[in-house]
Amino acid sequence: MVGFMVKIVFLGAPGSGKGTYSERISPKLGVPHISTGDIFREAVAKGTELGKKVKEYLESGSLVPDEITIQVLKERISQPDCEKGFILDGFPRTLEQAKALDQITDIDIVILLNLPEELIVKKLAGRRVCEKCGKIYNVADISYGKLRLPPMLPKNPEGVCDECGGRLVQREDDKEEVIRERLKVYHELTEPIIEYYKNQGKLVTVEVDAPADEMAEKILKIIREKTGKE
């Protein structure tokens, strides 16, 4: 576990594995995994004021306005569990958000996950999440040239979550029409951030070419090498 700060951003198209690797790496580094998507989904499920404001954006696959998103992120990273740093999954998603983040804090490293788009669509369609705790599974079994991304199934044959026994469901926005819209939004609004972080010397591009546990090890090694933090 790290004895000092590490602040990480995971960048990549929806379905590139940001959530899966963040979930695995966060306990190893002892820093929280922060997903703005999870925060919004929880708010929608609970019917809070924030949930009412963001519901339509999530359903259509468009982005929640920067003003709301930046405020939510700011509040989240000011919590005591972020003292030693954090892993951001799904934030920033616009240049505006990236610039706002730089005003609030110093990011150490940005990991860009790369995966061919046709596989992204397959992975998104195969994704299942626990409706109680949000843990991610995947039923897609992908072979692509030498690349093999096997399914990530629960140990429990009943198809319930290993962690909490919750029901595994498909996310509403993992349906085909919404997937297309989310990918379009990614290309138009999020991709420009790649150049922004490249210019800062913080970007490391990682090819998604191995099963999840192996990928998590590979990324952890890169983080340790690049930041000099154990």
Distance CA 63, CA 58 (A): 7
Smallest gap from Cβ 22 to ligand AMP, in A, equals 10
Point out the catalytic residue in the list 7, 41, 127, 135: 127
Smallest gap from Cβ 110 to ligand AMP, in A, equals 14
Closer to ligand AMP by Cβ: residue 97 or 138: 97
Closer to ligand AMP by Cβ: residue 39 or 212: 39
Smallest gap from Cβ 55 to ligand AMP, in A, equals 10
Smallest gap from Cβ 36 to ligand AMP, in A, equals 3
Q: Which residues bind ligand AMP (CB under 6 A)?
A: 14, 35-37, 40, 57-58, 61, 63-64, 69, 90-91, 93, 97, 173, 182
Is 182 in the active site? yes
Is 171 in the active site? yes
Is 224 in the active site? no
Point out the catalytic residue in the list 41, 76, 93, 122: 93
Is 180 in the active site? no
User: What phi and psi values does residue 190 have, to the nearest 5 degrees?
Assistant: -95, -35
Residues with a known catalytic role: 18, 93, 127, 171, 182
